[in-house]
Homo-oligomer: A and B are copies of this chain.
């Protein structure tokens, strides 16, 4: 089985290493011996690990995909251009494609490629695109396919989980921890894609497809990053038995509506997601029959991601030899829940003037907007006070109306942290 490898970064070169080192075992597993037909790169002059055979490098990605001796294509370039075109060529030629490209899969182009793969009866596999080495896509697509999934919640971005873990364990501020993560190579120089939740939103969109069969694009996902999370919010969360995590959540909210969102959330310490530390990923699944499941592991890195690619490569090869494809039920267009209709619990922190009647005025605003308070804590400091509220389950629109009115009160100096609470009973 001749394999075209498109891209030779961290994951591509790790993949080449595995295909070399484990050649015999892979042949037994897949039923065919893998042979690298070529490795498409942008620039031949870049330094690469010594195990990458220089003779296989080519800048002609299209020629490589079109090579009639190539049976399967692995796309590890990333982005929408030129990958969409290359994957389309492969699928139209009946060649299965394995990709780790979450940005493409969560784009409208990705949705069309999935349809094309279905029409042509060719595998387009992407275990590596969400949560790296964690066998999540296969679990949802195959093991849980007979179940009715209610909710999938994941820590799917290692950079932000690293930052939140450090903030929580060291009491450190966001900016300091971000700088540390950048120094360690765990955050990009421009961290926007991670810290503003764009990366997690793309993964949430893919999960909506795999777990629920709905076509959702990353741009449609309700999205809030972690840049507004303050040390004081994390400290409050800790005292009340919560940790703060950036979660990608896909949830049924009715027979045919789906809430797909990414935001920081307070998670009870007893929840399995609470113990997921540092750059690890985990996805928590709630199924009608299966109950609660969690899959945990490394969400990024060359070898872990390449290991997921290899699993798909074996799968695609076995399917090709058997003349079949991986299960890929038809997709439905999603009816997404409007943001203001979301129902969840909220944490709200207010800084107020410390004088009589403030609490009554503030709680009246909550009541007027149908937001029920579950617990409140008041801390005084230097003529001011901090009011910390946890609400019962409330409507996002009502909470936003509450916050708008609170901001107009003379006694309210500042609206501090506002964060959704997830995985709790109440």
Residues of A within 8 A of B (CB): 14, 18, 22, 25-26, 28-29, 127, 133-135, 138-139, 142-148, 270, 272, 275-277, 280, 287-298, 301, 303-304, 306-308, 310-311, 313-315, 318, 322-324, 327, 329-330
- Most B-side CB within 10 Å, residue of A133, A275, A306, A330: A133
Quick one: which of B144, B291, B306 contacts A298, CB cutoff 8 A?
B291
**Residues of B contacting A291 in the complex (Cβ-Cβ under 8 angstroms):** 133, 297-298, 301, 303-304
A307 touches B289 (CB 8 A): yes
A104 → chain B, closest Cβ, in Å?
A: 21
B290 touches A272 (CB 8 A): no
A294 touches B297 (CB 8 A): yes
- Please, which residue of chain B has its CB at the minimum distance from the CB of A294? B296
Cα A127 to Cα B145 in complex, Å, equals 14
- Please, which residue of chain B has its CB at the minimum distance from the CB of A134? B293
Besides A133-B289, A291-B297, 8 more A-B contacts (Cβ < 8 Å) are A133-B293, A142-B311, A144-B311, A270-B277, A272-B296, A293-B297, A296-B296, A322-B323
B304 touches A289 (CB 8 A): yes
Cβ-closest 10 pairs across A and B: A135-B143, A146-B310, A289-B307, A293-B297, A322-B324, A133-B290, A294-B296, A135-B139, A290-B307, A143-B311
- Please, which residue of chain B has its CB at the minimum distance from the CB of A297? B293
A293 touches B290 (CB 8 A): no
B25 touches A146 (CB 8 A): yes
A289 touches B14 (CB 8 A): yes
A329 touches B22 (CB 8 A): no
Cα A18 to Cα B296 in complex, Å, equals 28
A25 touches B311 (CB 8 A): no
Cα A146 to Cα B310 in complex, Å, equals 6
Cα A142 to Cα B142 in complex, Å, equals 11
Cα A304 to Cα B142 in complex, Å, equals 15
B145 touches A29 (CB 8 A): yes
Quick one: which of B18, B22, B26, B139 contacts A139, CB cutoff 8 A?
B139
Cα A14 to Cα B28 in complex, Å, equals 37
List, sorted by A's number, 17 A–B pairs whose CB atoms are closer than 8 Å: A28-B329, A29-B145, A133-B289, A134-B293, A138-B143, A139-B139, A142-B314, A145-B311, A145-B314, A146-B311, A288-B303, A289-B310, A294-B297, A314-B327, A318-B324, A318-B327, A322-B324
B272 touches A287 (CB 8 A): no
A214 → chain B, closest Cβ, in Å?
A: 14
A25 → chain B, closest Cβ, in Å?
A: 7
A300 → chain B, closest Cβ, in Å?
A: 10
- Please, which residue of chain B has its CB at the minimum distance from the CB of A34? B146
A331 → chain B, closest Cβ, in Å?
A: 12
- Please, which residue of chain B has its CB at the minimum distance from the CB of A291? B298
A352 → chain B, closest Cβ, in Å?
A: 38
Cα A327 to Cα B28 in complex, Å, equals 10
Cα A216 to Cα B291 in complex, Å, equals 30
Cα A330 to Cα B29 in complex, Å, equals 10
**Residues of B contacting A288 in the complex (Cβ-Cβ under 8 angstroms):** 303
Q: If the complex has contacts A139-B135, A139-B138, A314-B145, are A298 and B307 also in contact, measured as CB distance less than 8 A?
A: no
- Please, which residue of chain B has its CB at the minimum distance from the CB of A293? B297
A297 touches B289 (CB 8 A): no
- Most B-side CB within 10 Å, residue of A134, A143, A148, A295: A143
